[in-house]
C-alpha cells in the first residue's frame, strides 16, 4: 500500500514515516514508479515505534530495540524493565521540576518583598517638590 494509506492505518503522519525511513528504522519497498510501498506486516513495527516515542523513548533507543522486536526476541520482561526505567527517569524529572518550581516561587517572594511602595521610591526620590 502507498504511504498515505499506510500512515492513516498506522495513526502516524506521512512525515513521520519518511523520518523513520531516513533514520533506517523502516524500510519501505518501491513501486515501479518509485513510490514507497508498505506491507501490512510493517504496521506492527510502526505502531511499536510510535508507542515507544509516545512513552518518551528516543529514536536511537528505539533503533536499538527494533531488531529484537522484529524477530520476536524482545520479551515482555525486557519491555517491562524498559518502561520501569522510563518511569524512574520521569520521576527524577518531576523531582527536578518541583524543586525548580519552589526556587522560582522563592525568587518571586524575594522580589516582591523588595518592591517599592510608591513610584517615587522606585526611582530613589524621597524629597518633596517645592510649590511656587
Measured torsion, CA atoms of residues 113, 119, 121, 122, in degrees rounded to the nearest 10: 70
Confidence at residue 73, expressed as pLDDT on a 0 to 100 scale: 95
Asked if the structure places residue 121 within a domain, the reply is: no
Do 21 and 58 lie in one domain? The reply is: yes
Domain residue limits at 26: 1-74
Examine the pLDDT at 129 and tell me if it is beyond 80: no
Do 59 and 103 lie in one domain? The reply is: no
CATH number of the domain encompassing residue 58: 1.10.1660.10
- Please, which residues have CB within 8 angstroms of residue 24's CB and are 6 or more apart in sequence? 63
- The predicted-structure confidence for 39-57, as pLDDT tens digits, reads as follows 999 999 999 999 999 999 9
Do 64 and 80 lie in one domain? The reply is: no
Asked if the structure places residue 10 within a domain, the reply is: yes
Asked if the structure places residue 45 within a domain, the reply is: yes
Do 38 and 56 lie in one domain? The reply is: yes
Provide the b/e sequence for 80-92 (b: ≥16 CB within 10 Å).
eebeeeeeeeeee
Positive or negative: CA dihedral 9, 15, 16, 18: positive
Side-chain half-sphere CA neighbours of 102 within 13 A: 5
Do 42 and 4 lie in one domain? The reply is: yes
Q: pTM of the prediction?
A: 0.74
* Strand, coil or helix: 36: strand
**Average of per-residue pLDDT across 59-73:** 95
Confidence at residue 42, expressed as pLDDT on a 0 to 100 scale: 96
**% pLDDT > 90, the chain:** 85
- The predicted-structure confidence for 81-123, as pLDDT tens digits, reads as follows 999 999 999 999 999 999 999 999 999 999 999 987 766 666 6
Amino acid at each position: 500500500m502507498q504511504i498515505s494509506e499506510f500512515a492513516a492505518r498506522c495513526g502516524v503522519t506521512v512525515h513521520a514515516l519518511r523520518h523513520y525511513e531516513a533514520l533506517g528504522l523502516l524500510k519501505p519497498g518501491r513501486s515501479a514508479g518509485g513510490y514507497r510501498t508498505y506491507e501490512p506486516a510493517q504496521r506492527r513495527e510502526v505502531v511499536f515505534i510510535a508507542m515507544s516515542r509516545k512513552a518518551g523513548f528516543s529514536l536511537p533507543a528505539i533503533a536499538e530495540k527494533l531488531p529484537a522486536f522484529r524477530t520476536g526476541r524482545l520479551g515482555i520482561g525486557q519491555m517491562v524493565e524498559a518502561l520501569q526505567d522510563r518511569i524512574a527517569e520521569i520521576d527524577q524529572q518531576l523531582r527536578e521540576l518541583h524543586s525548580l518550581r519552589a526556587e522560582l516561587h522563592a525568587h518571586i517572594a524575594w522580589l516582591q518583598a523588595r518592591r517599592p511602595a510608591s513610584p517615587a521610591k522606585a526611582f530613589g526620590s524621597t524629597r518633596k517638590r517645592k510649590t511656587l
